[in-house]
Structure 1
């Protein structure tokens, strides 16, 4: 009696439902399976029993990223009560609902030493100097005319840019002076120049 060479067809169960995505946000993958129902020894089954596919959920939140704090600055007063600051930068803004950026500047009180009696701090001196400059600028034309009655004084030009960003530089401005009358001696109507210090803070 001859043996039959016919093989039994591969019998498979239906596919299961897809699993949940492997991540809670962003890109992941999911799987589904099925099982072999016919005995392995009775048939040659090469069908796949598992499938994998990509899945995409809403983008994951990205929190704000900030740089480290800078060193605290020098106290803004040479004596008495002042303040010092430190700063940091935003490297990456938050995305997709991530945590927001926090403060980029912090300030705290500082006191280098007590001011001696009658001592004006640097800010007060600077403020007074600026006030004097403003008054001088307003009165410059009329004062010049009084000094040189036969001369026509043009307004002061703007101050030039400081020659240094720190460590002490200079600025200058010009006033053009011309004779009012032909009889006026040219030597008495000379252009004027003023020079002042600027950016005197240390580098």
Structure 2
């Protein structure tokens, strides 16, 4: 039974089989006013078509909206009416769920350490449902055969000796270079020798002039008239 009461604090018992669905009992606790519909009750479901009801107590038995009579311990000619309606008819949100993981990709490296990856999808999310929590991709370290050793590159470019390097042209270039250096050195030495000989000759000339002046008599000097 659903207990309801009016503004005179008179409590009435209404059969729940009449005013509620079989599995969803309603409880009307709003103060009743004669010949006035109560507010709609809370919807039985938050989505996908729930149900709501409201009750009206009739002070006159001939009210067309009050076709039912209260079953009470005393003989009271009190009728009531019940109205139903659908509510929250929108589809329920459906949360997403992860699919199975895909296959691992091939290792990103051909030797040494690399990376493998796989992915999954968030499926089944409808009508504003929650997204899947967690990552869509994951990766792991993979390792294949060791890489071959790599020789460091030389600073000076290596050139293999060729038989052509011993040709006469290559040898001639080397000889010409040596001869040029020797000629330059000889020219420098020759210039130094010439300078030395000239300095010695100038010194001897000065000495000869001095000796000549010292041995010549003064009378031998011609006089001017």
Normalising to structure 1: TM-score of the pair?
0.38
Greater fraction strand: 1
Greater fraction helix: 2
Structure 1 or 2, whichever has the larger Rg, is 2
Normalising to structure 2: TM-score of the pair?
0.35
